[in-house]
């Protein structure tokens, strides 16, 4: 029997609706409209598309959003000056600096300059450091990783005691998702470019998260029958029959995997929409933090 499809699009839509409702309730009570500032440096076309989607999602949810664009040759000081201004702007509750940054900028210092209370991406070194420690609570959890965990939970996967394998060790997805899986009491193996015999490891995985950026890298026979597969990859592959000349595929060979897994996310329509939904949630949370509320 083919796997259950984990419909990230529908799940994200219902989360976005929930955020919209909560935003409208707080505004009706006279509380501040949540505000998100996006910062994009340089002209990476994919980053521009993502940021535009984030701004549109804010608009739909009733969240105020302002976009800032700096040239690719902006200096460290210019970037940090803008961030300091946004840190001090009471209308802005969340600051998102789209990554990757152009070469020459110090990413760690840029992320470190964002106010901890406005770090809706959860990439501030203190928030990431807290995520890496037992018994510590980050103020914000990065959007894509928390979307992955949410989809796993919604699919009915058992995380506690599960063998979870994460392919990829990026700061944005692989590492934080691994830490969240540990917090959920899974036993986690992280595979990367130097790992030996990756298929032998993935075949033991009850939960498999693929975030390597290689089209259809994971084959059907790498998957343990009954596993839950979360595909974070979004890769363009040429396709002359497609209107745009390309189609999007994940890091997992979907047609093969769907015959083996218990549940799987499609690409597109799986993890992608969750990133935006979780960012909106984090922005609402930032506004509640600014109210002085215990957001729990």
Active site residues: 54, 98, 121
**Residue from 122, 119, 128 nearest 141 by CA:** 122
Pair 208, 218: CB distance under 8 Å: yes
| Enclosing H/E stretch for 236 | strand 235-238
Selected from 22, 42, 98, 175, the binder of ligand GUN by CB under 6 A is 98
Selected from 80, 119, 121, 206, the binder of ligand GUN by CB under 6 A is 121
Tell me, by CB under 6 A, how many residues bind ligand GUN.
9
Query: Does residue 61 interact with ligand GUN by CB under 6 A?
Result: no
Q: Closest approach of Cβ 260 to ligand GUN, in Å?
A: 29
N-terminal to C-terminal alpha carbon distance within the chain: 41
Q: Closest approach of Cβ 223 to ligand GUN, in Å?
A: 25
Q: Closest approach of Cβ 254 to ligand GUN, in Å?
A: 22
Pair 111, 105: CB distance under 8 Å: no
Options 83-91, 97-105, 146-154, 214-222: segment touching ligand GUN (CB under 6 A): 97-105
What's the CA gap between 93 and 186, in Å, rounded? Answer: 33
- Quick one: 144 or 155, whose CB is closer to ligand GUN? 144
- Quick one: 127 or 144, whose CB is closer to ligand GUN? 144
Query: Does residue 265 interact with ligand GUN by CB under 6 A?
Result: no
- Quick one: 171 or 187, whose CB is closer to ligand GUN? 171
- Quick one: 120 or 261, whose CB is closer to ligand GUN? 120
Selected from 57, 74, 96, 267, the binder of ligand GUN by CB under 6 A is 96
| C-alpha distances in Å from residue 226, one per residue of 4, 64, 260, 271 | 10, 43, 7, 20
What's the CA gap between 96 and 18, in Å, rounded? Answer: 21
CA dihedral 80, 140, 284, 276 (to 10 degrees): 90
Pair 239, 247: CB distance under 8 Å: yes
Binding to ligand GUN, residues 123-182 (CB under 6 A):
143-144, 172
Contacts of residue 1, defined as CB under 8 A and 6 or more positions apart, other chains included, come to none
Binding residues for ligand GUN, per CB under 6 A? 96-99, 121, 143-144, 172, 275
């Amino acid at each position: 029997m083919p796997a259950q499809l984990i419909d990230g699009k529908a799940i994200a839509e219902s989360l976005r609706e929930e955020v919209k409702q909560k935003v409208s309730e707080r505004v009706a009570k006279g509380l501040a409209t949540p505000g998100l500032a996006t910062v994009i440096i340089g002209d990476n076309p994919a980053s521009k598309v993502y940021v535009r989607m984030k701004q549109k999602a804010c608009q739909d949810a009733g969240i105020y959003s302002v976009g800032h664009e700096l040239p690719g040759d902006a200096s460290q000081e210019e970037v940090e000056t803008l961030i300091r201004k946004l840190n001090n702007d009471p209308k802005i509750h969340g600051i998102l600096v789209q990554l990757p940054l152009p070469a020459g900028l110090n990413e760690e210092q840029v992320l470190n300059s964002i106010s901890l209370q406005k770090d809706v991406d959860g990439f501030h070194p203190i928030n990431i450091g807290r995520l890496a420690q037992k018994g510590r609570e980050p103020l914000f959890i990065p959007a894509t990783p928390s979307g992955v965990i949410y989809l796993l939970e919604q699919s009915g996967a058992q995380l506690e005691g599960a063998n979870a394998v994460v392919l990829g060790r990026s700061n944005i997805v692989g590492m934080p998702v691994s830490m969240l899986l540990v917090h959920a009491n899974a036993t986690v193996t992280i595979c990367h470019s130097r790992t030996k015999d990756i298929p032998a490891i993935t075949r033991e995985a009850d939960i498999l998260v693929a975030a390597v950026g290689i089209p259809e890298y994971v084959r059907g026979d790498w998957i343990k029958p009954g596993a839950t597969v979360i595909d974070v990859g979004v890769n363009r592959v040429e396709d002359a029959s497609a209107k745009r000349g390309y189609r999007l595929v994940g890091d997992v060979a979907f047609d093969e995997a769907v015959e083996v897994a218990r549940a799987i996310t499609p690409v597109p329509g799986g993890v992608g929409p969750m990133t935006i939904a979780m960012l909106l949630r984090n922005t609402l949370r930032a506004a509640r933090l600014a109210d002085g509320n215990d957001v729990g």
